[in-house]
Amino acid sequence: MDVKERYRQWCSDPYFDEETREELKAIEGDDAQIEDRFYRQLEFGTGGLRGVIGAGTNRMNRYTVRQATQGLANYICSRGGQDRGVAIAYDSRIMSPEFADEAALCLNANGIRTYRFTSLRPTPELSFAVRELGCIAGIVITASHNPREYNGYKVFWEDGAQVTPPHDKNIMDEVSRVTSFSMVKTMEKEKARSLGLYREIADEIDDRYMEELKKQSIHPEIIREMAKDITIVYTPLHGTGNLPVRRVLKELGFEKVYVVEEQEKPDGTFPTVAYPNPESPKAFTLALQLAEKVDADIVLATDPDADRLGVYCKTDDGYRSFTGNMSGILIAEYILKERLAAGTMPEDPAMVETIVTTDMAKAVAKAYGVTLIEVLTGFKYIGEQIRRFESKNDHHYVFGFEESYGCLAGTYARDKDACVAVMMLCEAASFYKKKDMTLWDAMVAMYERYGYFKEGLETITLKGRDGAAQIGEMMENARKHPPKQIGPYRTLAVRDYKEGIRKDLAGGETTPTGLPESNVLYYELENDSWCCVRPSGTEPKIKFYFGVKGESLQDSEEKLDEVKRSLMEMFS
């Protein structure tokens, strides 16, 4: 069936509701719109679905959600997991509650029990709930930090982490076999309730989640001592973080927490921000205005599903932003240093980071005698390591983080958690303020001890069928023609994670990367510098990561600019 035939089917088939058919009839004659909506089936990737909300096979809607869920249901049934059930959460985005119900009722129609949160919850709490309820899987309806027109669907497995091999590939295979909507099951909610299939998650899970968060605190006595002296501004950016973040800070004893009123309430239209991403400076506009009024020490923002944290810190020159690498390594060192001092460091401690996260982690881990393990991009691989540590009993997880503003302290969840990141950063801010230091002072002290590491990220957006083809060509050209030099630095080795090999360019020797297959190229450069290129798994983008080590802040910035210019010229 070609694009036009699929379009006509959706316009006329009574299976699709009237609102869907009317939306599509309104674009009749607009070939570009029709092409974009129907040129493919919205791809179910290794983490689930993500796309623009709307009618069509290449859109997030109740029908594509059902279709994906039928594939997941088939996989769960093949493993006899019906009675263990699936936990379901959702965020504040448009259609999130409706998509959560569509997923639940499809699973119910396949005989699978579901446990659905009664209102929006953070993604990390879903991760916690999967294990706490003994479920075989979990689903979160969220598009994380994407623009307002997006929604998504993340799948978690029984360990509480997003699905990894072999489950991700097996689920993708099952979804691909659901080739017709006639193969998709659903049922009425009241019938599902009466059969005991559709259940709701009690508030008790919130309480247990809170207790696990508070267990991560190292110095509650310092929080109590500094509670009146540390001033915090926080914005949930219209997402799920408002209640859990405020609750955990209050229960820990923080007294001066100011929330941005205009962004406090959940709202999937994100009326005050075009892009609800704590990585974006524009997301902090209102929070920084409030920070100036109340003389805040730190300014914090979480994304809509509260798994990412953005940070600004007061300095003598105003408020300074922290990258995800900076806030992550600051929390990491605080935990390692203070657990060691308090005698609470576990045996064989390990820290986990992704391959595109700051190399300062290597220096910090070495300084505290902690094993550092690198994994592919995606927090699910950090969650996978926690499971591996527990099964092999060879390491104890202490902390994990990635450059994209996500981290996890503790093992109560298996996904990044902005709620725990907020509380640990606020505790660290209290700890350093007691020493008459700001968080920026603490960061500078780390630079002086470990080196002036600095990292950057650039992206190129290429939408639609042609964009996807262009991204593919860019990766293949780079794979066939590895650069001998990027900026001022020679390329020492190339890691091709798709081929699973690392090639030393001087001697030509190849060795295995030791990580799963992924369409990623990583260039090891002279002078502790590096670059990495990969297509995004959730957006129509190709991403370029790079890092350097300088002699000062200015030196590292100049070196980073040289590497960035050279890398982007290669792909322009």
The residues annotated as belonging to the active site are: 144
Q: Which two tokens stand for residue 324?
A: 């995800």
Contacts (Cβ under 8 Å, ≥6 apart) of 50: 60, 143, 146, 150, 151, 152, 153, 538, 539
**Distant-in-sequence, close-in-space partners of 460: CB < 8 Å, separation ≥ 6:** 541, 542, 544, 571
Question: Would you say 268 and 251 are in contact if contact means Cβ atoms under 8 Å apart?
Answer: no
What is the distance of C-alpha 28 from the center of its chain?
37
CA nearest 239: which of 326, 324, 119, 139? Answer: 119
Cα separation, 479 vs 477, whole angstroms: 5
Q: What is the arrangement of strands in the sheet containing 256-259, beginning at the earlier edge strand?
A: 256-259, 231-235, 298-302, 309-315, 318-322
Q: Which residues of 333-368 are buried (b: 16+ CB within 10 A; e: fewer)?
A: bbbbbbbeeeeebeeebbbbbbbbbbbbbbbbbeeb
Give 554's contacts (C-beta < 8 A, 6+ positions apart).
Answer: none
Strand ranges across the sheet with 349-354:
371-375, 349-354, 396-402, 406-409
CA dihedral 520, 521, 526, 528 (to 10 degrees): 0
* Strand runs labelled E in 462-529: 485-486, 489-496, 501-504, 510-512, 521-525
How far apart CA 315 and CA 317 sit, in angstroms, is 5
Rg (CA), the chain: 24
Amino acid at 364: V
* Size of the chain, expressed as the number of residues it contains: 572
**SS3 of residue 363 by DSSP:** helix
Estimate to the nearest angstrom the gap between the alpha carbon of 232 and the chain centroid: 24
Distance of CA 556 to the CA centre of its chain: 27
The DSSP symbol for 368 reads: T
Letter for the amino acid at 505? Answer: L
In whole angstroms, what is the distance from residue 384 CA to residue 398 CA?
14
